[in-house]
Amino acid sequence: MPESETKAAIQCEHCKPLNQMVVRNVTVSYPDSLTDLTEAEAAEYVQRGIDKYGHILTGIELRTVEAEPDMIDVYYDVKPMPFQRLRRITGYLVGDLKRWNNGKRAEEHDRVKHGI
């Protein structure tokens, strides 16, 4: 078989639609090779994901390992987490100045700001 056909066959193997079940509002996706996956087993994977990621867990994808058919790779999908930018101002790490008193705000206003 030519090399290009081999790569296409491998790609198609990974592009197959996955079976799905929902456990505790988390979608568990798994390939046809794991058709014997029980809801109890899926619940264990979901519990492990919740223990690890908490409420941001949205889905789990299970994949068989080609070299080890008895092994399963587990991929967790989580919600993106917003982050707040922190700056170091007058020796303090802050995200914003809302909670600073007037004296600290005046100190921030009077400081020399250096360009990068």
Interatomic CA distance for residues 87 and 34, integer angstroms? 48
Interatomic CA distance for residues 69 and 36, integer angstroms? 14
Predicted structure pTM score: 0.57
Q: pLDDT-based confidence at 16, cuts 50/70/90?
A: low
Token pair for 115: 């360009």
- What is the distance of C-alpha 107 from the center of its chain? 40
pLDDT in tens, 51-87: 999 888 999 999 888 888 788 899 999 998 787 777 7
